[in-house]
Amino acid sequence: MKAVVVGSGGWGTALSLVLCDNGHETWLWSHNPAKAAEMAESRRNPLLSSVELPESLRITSDLDCLKDADMVVSAPPSFAVRKTGENIAPYLRPETVLVTVSKGIERDTNLRMSQVLQEATGNICKVVALSGPSHAEEVGIRMPTGCVSACPDRAAARFVQDAFMNDYFRVYTSYDIIGVELAAALKNVVALSCGVIAGLGYQDNTKALLMTRAMAELTRLGEQLGGTRRTFGGLAGMGDLIVTCTSLHSRNNRAGMLIGQGKSVQEAMQEVGAVVEGYYAAESIHQLAQREDVEMPICQCAYEVLYQGKHARDVVSELMTRAKKDELLERTWL
């Protein structure tokens, strides 16, 4: 099978290694010709500097590599997904399987990444979402990892499962692409919030409280938008939430810690030096929650800290002194 990964960031590169290990003809495309040439020469990606890129991985900045591809993996940051989709559209065929691995919600439109790609490509082919608790740094060194291949078309989901699955990269299938993509995007806000908590000096009890109650909020919004509750308790939901909230591999977590320690939002973003998806997702959640009339106090507080200059310690106090709730009652738990 011919597979092309579009986007040479850490995650795109790690997935290209999985495909190479599985014996596929694999191409890695970069929008930057100089970066593509450097990676092809050095067999290294600075974002995964400890991992040697195999000779079988073909690296290029020429979109002609997409010709006759059986599977195309879209791996840019969320803000670049629409433009990427427009660029690759002329090369796609109805039988191509397009896989989105970007985690985010498009700003202003509030569309999921698969929806953005469908619009940008004229919905020419099936789109599958691949997501789960999966740091590129660990996949790159072949650490056991699990993800979910999600698509209402079960055959397309299984095609992606078969393409990626091996003895260190386990893939489950799901029909719930809505829940999988929403969980992937929304948990970044929680990870950023967990970083803020750590930066303020709070410890494990507080983090566990935040993560659990935030997952209740994400589930509530996800169901309202058409997702399945079970998805939010699975790999794409709770699994990805755990790994993103507890690891220093997470850019969202690191940015949050800096904010909690007193840096401004922009200073924290600049110091992390890469895209912090949780910052953008916080605004999308705020818009979606208002549109759908869904109560999300933790995500609302994150939005106020990130966009309205509210002090993080103040919102912790607000959350802790909210009205009493019963966890087991349907309307209050969800």
The CATH number of the domain where 135 resides is what? 3.40.50.720
Same domain as 78, residue 188 = no
Which of the residues 35, 83, 126, 187 is marked catalytic?
187
Same domain as 236, residue 164 = no
Please state the domain count of the chain: 2
Question: pTM (2 decimals)?
Answer: 0.91
Same domain as 286, residue 156 = no
Q: Give per-residue pLDDT as tens, 252-287.
A: 999 999 999 999 999 998 998 877 888 989 999 999
User: Catalytic annotation on 187?
Assistant: yes
| Orientation angle between helical segments 177-200 and 204-224, nearest 10 degrees | 150
Look at residues 175, 199, 214 and tell me which one is the last residue of a structural domain: 175
Q: In the 8-state DSSP scheme, what is residue 293? A: T
Look at residues 175, 201, 236 and tell me which one is the last residue of a structural domain: 175
Same domain as 47, residue 98 = yes
- Rounded distance, CA 80 to CA 74, Å? 10
| pLDDT band (50, 70, 90) for residue 332 | very low
Look at residues 175, 205, 227 and tell me which one is the last residue of a structural domain: 175
Same domain as 259, residue 114 = no
Same domain as 226, residue 134 = no
Q: Give per-residue pLDDT as tens, 16-50.
A: 999 999 999 999 999 999 999 999 999 999 999 88
Same domain as 268, residue 280 = yes
The CATH number of the domain where 296 resides is what? 1.10.1040.10
Same domain as 188, residue 171 = no
- Rounded distance, CA 45 to CA 61, Å? 14
pLDDT of residue 330: 52
Rounded to 5 degrees, φ, ψ at 5 are -100, 120
Same domain as 120, residue 217 = no
CB of 281 within 8 A of CB of 189? yes
Q: Give per-residue pLDDT as tens, 48-57.
A: 988 999 999 9
Say what percent of the chain tops pLDDT 90.
86
Q: Determine the structural domain holding residue 167 and report its residue range.
A: 2-175
